[in-house]
Structure formats: C-alpha cells, structure tokens
C-alpha cells in the first residue's frame, strides 16, 4: 500500500500575511495548490508531463476551514490525500499542521476534472491507463465505484 501521507512543507513568507500579522485567508488556497502539485511530483506524475500529454486538471471547487492562524516565519506541513477518484473527477483533501506545535490549523478540499485543451473530458482509464492506475494506487476510497469503465 502506498504512503498516502505525502507531506508538503514550507514556511510562511512575509508578503503572505495581512495587517494583523497572520496569513491572509486567500493564501491557504495557494498552499493547497502547491501541496497538490508537489504530491503529483512525489508519486511520479509531474504536472508539466501531464500537461505535455494534453491533459488539463482544472479546479471545480475549493473549500477551506480556518481553525488556527499561521504567522510570518511559522513553518507548516500539508498532507494532501486523493479522497475520491473516478477517472473523470478527483477530489483532494488537505490537512495543514503547524510545523512546530503539530496543531491542525486548516482543513480543506478541492475538486478537479480531467480535460483536453478543447475542454472535452478525458477518460483516463481508456486514454491514459498509466496515469489512471497511478492515481488509483493513491486514492483513499472504496474502489468498487471507481471502476465504471471511464
């Protein structure tokens, strides 16, 4: 079983904070994107290579719950997980932890689909079975509803 806890770590930059000295809420969505791209790299699916093969992975939705603030200089760790994967769509969940205290600071989720540049859906299982299988390997769900032939 692959390690689904592929952590992304970094520190908070000064420009990411607001006048109150805490990370501006919009930056957490950026952190999620950084973690998602990093996760794809770590599982052997670098995003530039996915795009070179003609696949786009747009964001369909994003959710974020702010539990505890981060401040300039804090380090943090994000654990992204492929929470759901059907071959047409993919949901990623995120848990963001304070790097020193280990406290859970933020949780979130983003939804994605797979499209060709002409905006037509990609059927990953049929058209890119290698990528489909790699993502299935890391998906955290009951796979019985994922094998619908898409």
Q: Contact, 12 vs 76, CB < 8 A? A: yes
Please tell me whether residue 1 adopts helix, strand or coil conformation: coil
- Residue indicated by tokens 């299988």: 133
Element (H, E) at 41: helix 26-42
Taken in order 59, 37, 93, 85, the sign of the CA dihedral is positive
Q: Contact, 78 vs 68, CB < 8 A? A: no
Averages of pLDDT over runs of 10 residues in the chain (150 residues) are: 70 96 97 97 96 97 98 97 96 97 98 98 97 94 41
Q: Contact, 140 vs 4, CB < 8 A? A: yes
pTM of the model as a whole:
0.88
Domains contained in the chain, CATH given: 8-140 (3.10.129.10)
Rg (CA), the chain: 16
In the residue annotation, 18 being an active-site residue is answered as: yes
pLDDT at residue number 140: 79
Q: Return d(Cα 109, Cα 81) in angstroms, integer.
A: 9
Per the residue annotation, which of 3, 18, 38, 130 is the catalytic one? 18
- Residue indicated by tokens 């420009």: 15
pLDDT at residue number 144: 39
Express each pLDDT in 1-36 by its tens digit. 344 458 999 999 999 999 999 999 999 999 999 999
- The dihedrals phi and psi of 50, each to the nearest 5 degrees, come to -65, -45
């Amino acid at each position: 079983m692959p390690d689904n806890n592929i952590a992304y770590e970094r520190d908070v930059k000064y420009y990411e904070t607001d006048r109150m000295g805490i990370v501006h809420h919009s930056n957490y969505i950026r952190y999620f994107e950084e973690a998602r791209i990093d996760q794809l790299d770590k599982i052997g699916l670098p995003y530039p290579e996915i795009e070179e093969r003609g696949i786009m992975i747009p964001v369909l939705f994003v959710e974020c719950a702010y539990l505890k603030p981060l401040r300039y200089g804090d380090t943090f760790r994000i654990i992204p997980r492929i929470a759901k994967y059907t071959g047409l769509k993919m949901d990623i969940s995120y848990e963001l932890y304070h790097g020193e205290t280990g406290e859970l600071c933020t949780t979130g989720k983003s939804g994605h689909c797979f499209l060709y540049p002409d905006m037509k859906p990609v059927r990953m299982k049929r058209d890119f079975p290698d990528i489909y299988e790699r993502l299935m390997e890391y998906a955290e769900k009951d796979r019985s509803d994922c094998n619908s032939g898409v």
